[in-house]
Amino acid sequence: MKKKFTFYYLTIAMLLLSNFSFGQINENNRLNQKYDSKKIVKELNQPTQIWIDGYWVIKNNGSREWKKGYWQFKKKSFQEKSILFQRKMATKNKA
């Protein structure tokens, strides 16, 4: 009888001290969030590339000339960066 109780006590102690009792805490998730925030900040600091499409220019004599498209680089302001960072770091509900 005494062996049964010690066996049960040992089993309960093992379960309480095992990793199963901390199933809700995920350390890898915390590390991934730090990595994601660094990655997001790096992306936010890069200038935005916008492709400007080509367009027709009408000259004074009525003829038209095609202007090619080009890349335009635009830096984000600090306020734009902070708004984008808040949106990306917001916790998303899992349904």
Residue type, 40: I
CB 44 within 8 A of CB 81: yes
Measured between alpha carbons, how far is 60 from 64 in angstroms, rounded to an integer? 9
Listed residue (84, 76, 85) closest to 49, CA to CA: 76
pLDDT at residue number 63: 92
**Two tokens at 59?**
């000259």
pTM listed for this prediction: 0.36
Measured between alpha carbons, how far is 8 from 13 in angstroms, rounded to an integer? 8
Q: Dump pLDDT digits (tens) for 2-56.
A: 777 788 888 888 777 766 555 555 555 555 666 677 777 777 777 778 788 888 9
